[in-house]
Structure 1
């Protein structure tokens, strides 16, 4: 690559950084996702905090959630600026399709605890805690691949001390992912599917 093209690319990157987060998020494409199998569907810029993780905060946890909504409704909630909530990823029940709604460098508002928000990646799963039929093989497998990728990229141990449920977040009033989430199966899959 010649020097002129490098300088043009750097100038374009610098100019893009001056745009408001909402414009940058809307301009992003599927190729801009942190996880290649995800599809970029940005949350409203009103529903997360722009950051520069892991420089600003270490990423030490993956937090597993259940939406208590349909996949489409959960994504729509994250796109609604009045809702003040988001997660990095949403996994669909039927086939494990994944939308990324917040960049991993940014702080999604998913844990109900600022300290845990800053140090975690939040993954929502379509379904309801009292309806185990939502927890399909495809959902477990695609989510485990995603979690394994996150753990590999940030050096997060693939264990229950670091891959936790929303219910385990200090101060949480949530019960998800609930009694029907198969933690033994999930952690086994994360370890089988990861690079390390």
Structure 2
């Protein structure tokens, strides 16, 4: 059943003679005008939404292919190792989705394990980057695309995910080389998308709303990490990554 108040308000008022009839007609006229104006506003809103959605999906139109270079990386020095196409989706970020977060992950395993599962179409998830203990970085998904890494569609669309070799309960997993390489990577991401270097915008997987993950865990040194990211961001002779 519909809402009773709504049903009553939509019933036409009976006509009448004299002032009562005129008032009734005036009210009906105002109601019809309000409906027309409201309908027009909804139509404009729908056009705006449709235009916004088309802006995000223009490159899916037959015959239109967004220019991409096979094996191209966003971070200088990273090695391209492609994730399965089932673990991410094509996008045109930041034109369609603003990038304003970096999400820090820990594999709960080794570097090779991360590469293996991210290349597995049955896994259903992958991060943009994987950082090895010695500081080597693999890029598996372009930053312009949406990686399935955070367990939240909204966070996936707005963030870049960085996976780190190691275990949340083993402090020794997080080496100096890893911290430094990851900090350079995050500094570059923050520079490219004008992301503030703070704990609101650089977060752990555990901080994503609705997640059941605990990484990067209690041994991840956030104070040290942000200090390193800021140092890299503010380096005078910083070499920018290729477009």
Range class of TM-score, shorter chain: 0.7 to 0.9
Report the TM-score when normalising by structure 1. Answer: 0.85
**Counterpart secondary structure, 1:142:** helix
Measure how far apart 1:28 and its partner are. 2.0
CA–CA distance in structure 2, aligned partners of residues 92 and 165 of structure 1: 18
The structure with the largest alpha-carbon Rg is 2
Match of 1:17 among 65, 69, 82: 65
Match of 2:178 among 136, 139, 143: 139
Which residue in the other structure is 1:50 paired with? 90
**Counterpart secondary structure, 1:129:** coil
CA–CA distance in structure 2, aligned partners of residues 169 and 18 of structure 1: 30
Tell me whether 1:35 sits opposite 2:75 in the alignment.
yes
Measure how far apart 1:17 and its partner are. 3.0
Is the 8 Å Cα contact of residues 28 and 40 (structure 1) preserved in structure 2?
no
Match of 1:186 among 225, 228, 235: 225
Match of 1:125 among 141, 149, 164: 164
Residue by residue over 1:61-108, the C-alpha shift from the partner in whole angstroms, topping out at 9 and shown as x without a partner, is 000000011100101111011111000000001x11000000000000
Tell me whether 1:106 sits opposite 2:148 in the alignment.
no
**Counterpart secondary structure, 1:141:** helix
Which residue in the other structure is 1:3 paired with? none
**Counterpart secondary structure, 1:28:** coil
Relative to 1, partners in 2 of residues 1:18 and 1:54: Cα closer, same or farther, differing over 3 Å?
Answer: closer
Which residue in the other structure is 1:12 paired with? none
Report the TM-score when normalising by structure 2. Answer: 0.68
Unaligned runs of 5+ in 1: 1-14
CA–CA distance in structure 1, aligned partners of residues 145 and 156 of structure 2: 10
Residue by residue over 1:13-64, the C-alpha shift from the partner in whole angstroms, topping out at 9 and shown as x without a partner, is xx89389xxxx7xx823xx101112100010111101100001100000000
Structure 1 ranges of 4+ moved more than 2 A: 15-19
**Counterpart secondary structure, 1:192:** helix
Unaligned runs of 5+ in 2: 1-62, 236-243
Q: How many residues align?
A: 173
Tell me whether 1:74 sits opposite 2:122 in the alignment.
no
